[in-house]
Amino acid sequence: MPVNNGDNKYTILPGEPLPFGATVQNEGVNFAVLSRHAISVTLLLFNDADKYVPKAELVLDPYLNKTGDVWHIRVDGIGEGTFYLYKVDGPYDPEKGHRFNRYKVLLDPFAKAITSTGHWDLDKARGYDWDSPEKDLSFSEYDDIMDMPKSIVISDNFDWQGDRPLNFPLRHSIIYETHVAGLTRDKSSGVKHRGTYKGVTELIPYFKDLGITSLEFLPIMEFDQDSVSRINPMTDEHLENYWGYDPISFFAPKGNYSSSGNNGEQVREFKEMVRELHKEGIEVILDVVFNHTGEGSELGPTISFRGWDNQIYYILSDDKRFYMNYSGCGNTLNCNHPIVRSLIRSCLHYWVIEMHVDGFRFDLGSILGRDQEGNLMENPPILEGIAEDPVLRNTKIIAEAWDAGGAYQVGSFPGGRWAEWNDKFRDDVRRFWRGDKGMVHNLATRLTGSSDLYLRDGRKPFHSINFVTSHDGFTLYDLVSYNTKHNEANGEDNRDGADNNISFNHGKEGVSHNRKIIALRKRQVKNFHATLMLSLGTPMILGGDEILRTQGGNNNAYCQNNTVSWYDWNLKKENSENYTFLKKLIKFRQRHPAFHRPEFYLGKDSNFNNIPDITWYDRFGNIPDWEKIGHCLAYRLDGTEADIDSDKDDNDFYLMFNGSIKDHSFTICPPPEGTHWFMSINTALPEGEDIPLFGNEKMIDEQTIYTVKAKSVVVLISREK
């Protein structure tokens, strides 16, 4: 049916129910959206991103434009770059979970891009106040449009130049967690396109030099960065949603992170970033938030899902006017409803197939294991579905195995092949180096892949994502510089953020000019780096820890889009010793398969050389009494290919950890026949000596006693003279 709307001429066809979203087809665009309980759907088309009066309003006919629960229409005469919104009418009955409002415009849940000025005003999109819902019905016809972003029609055409996701095995991966914008936002980054996807691309030589294999980005799915209403009481600066853990559009990359425009150009720039990273052998992993949306509680804005079918998309309380809040953010996505399960998997497919990402880290992943009443399930369909999905088979899937509702599933996350953020590794390693008593046995377990967590269900050491720091908490240098959090700038009277940080300031809170304190702090940073890289499992570094980035003791900088969070790249020169140490440490790990073997240790000899794959010692060279071992630990690794599950022999290693405040002598076991021990790592030595170049290590003569300085790690390697 032809439609003439002023200067705009369209041909309207019934359209098809699949695929969902807006799909460019030859001479037009097919639109398909799902709403089971809607009685009317209207498609609004716009000429420009900033227009609030639509150029066309197309009312969908339930007879012609609906198949099952799917509303659809095809519009010929438009194409990529078209801006659009919807209006959806249906029952407003909060007590039954329905919150339809014909006056509110809605985003397409499957939109591949949305307009992003970075300064939305969603006050008029606020949800009904359940005590007086009639107040929202006073809006004029177009009041709501000017305050909302718009969905954008996107074509999937792109010259990938033969690129495919890299999909490195987890055990060979070294993950670098970072914020896309904060990475280069500061002038000190020296890049041309600061705070953007292209800025990340400009830093590729840096990532290559450091040696990481994978970038894990904090959320890049579109969110409202103005959703934080507080003021920094110290500067009067308006605070922002910097981290982005409040998604409003799961398919759309953040427009503000694009240097080339944010009216659809962000999709191309994201793809270009991925393509260029892949050319240099660097993966892209996305931190994804499928546990809640930015629509918040019943008093939050109606942007998309609430207005399409509130009862389907969210877990509601017994009084369906309210939302279950296992996320701590006002609502909980109904992840195991069949429709939401399909949405999530379609979204993952899109990011893998069309955007070429290599993996996902699932924020508050335990929520994906809750049923439609909020109860934890033994075999959650969505988690099993993701793990067994044929398209995602080689894609990394990493769970944050807990949620804000009390679920804690580290070591028992359901669904098969999932890897997990291992916070037990974080906490036990922090406690050991802080000097807590009785932590040596725990350290030994974490160094060897956390078999207590992952062995019983058939998972491997690499399913443990080992980390000491992450975006959520202290940076590594703050971990050794502060006893308590200092979050006053967040405007919450320092109540936000974790109180139990297992940190230690080593003599003075915060900045110190005492050389001994500074030296000890930097040695402790080396100890954490060494422990992370020498442990079985998949190491994850918090971006900026390699240059000793600080947030001034703020352990919850989610709202600090400023120099608190931005990387100060001047620190790279100032702290070159730490950067160089970590760079060499990464090369050491990658060179030696003994430190990323795929199986847990057995404590047995697999190649009949009378040396077990791992042998534990106390500092006297005896079998340890784990109850009396103190703060020191040593162990020997047999590097023969049978004992490390490799296709070639490695060296043997003798590792010594001194977590005490005193120097201690360690008795060293003999090296393999015909070889000698050489010092390959010593965190107590200065730059250049702490990790000698491969082949230039200093031989430990024939001595059987080696003094390990207080708070340090020493690694000996066996080889011929």
Active site residues: 363, 400
Bridge partners (DSSP) of residue 83 are 46, 152
Q: In this structure, are strands 396-399 and 664-667 parallel, antiparallel, or unpaired?
A: unpaired
141 contacts: CB under 8 Å, gap ≥ 6: 103
Q: What torsion, rounded to 10 degrees, do the Cα atoms 612, 616, 621, 623 define?
A: -100
3-state secondary structure of 589: helix
Greatest distance between any 2 Cα atoms in the chain = 93
Other beta carbons less than 10 A from residue 223's beta carbon: 24
User: How many residues are listed for the chain in this entry?
Assistant: 721
Give the C-alpha separation, 395 to 387, whole Å. 9
The residues, any chain, with a CB within 8 Å of residue 152's CB and separated by 6 or more, are 49, 81, 82, 83, 84, 111, 112, 113, 114, 115, 263, 264
Q: How far apart are CA 386 and CA 419, in angstroms?
A: 12
Q: State the first-to-last Cα distance of the chain, in angstroms, to the nearest integer.
A: 86
CB-side neighbour CA atoms (13 Å) of 37: 19
User: What is the distance between the alpha carbons of residues 716 and 682, in angstroms, rounded to a whole number?
Assistant: 9
- DSSP 8-state assignment for residue 126: B
**Is 567:549 a contact under the CB 8 Å cutoff?**
yes
CA dist., res. 582 & res. 683, Å (int) = 11
Which residues neighbour 392 within 8 Å (Cβ) at sequence distance 6 or greater?
A: 348, 349, 352, 386
Q: DSSP readout, 352-393?
A: HHTT---EEEETTGGGGGB-TTSPBPSS-HHHHHHHH-STTT
Dihedral in degrees, nearest 10, Cα atoms 105, 109, 111, 117: 50
Side-chain half-sphere exposure of 380, counting CA atoms within 13 A? 28
DSSP line for 477-538: HHHTT-SS---GGGTSTT-SS-S------TTSSS----HHHHHHHHHHHHHHHHHHHHSSSE
Residue type for 705, please?
I
CA–chain centroid gap for 508, Å, is: 32
What does the alpha-carbon distance between residue 323 and residue 377 come to, in Å, rounded to a whole number?
A: 19
Q: How far apart are CA 495 and CA 485, in angstroms?
A: 9
Lookup result for tokens 């940073």: 525
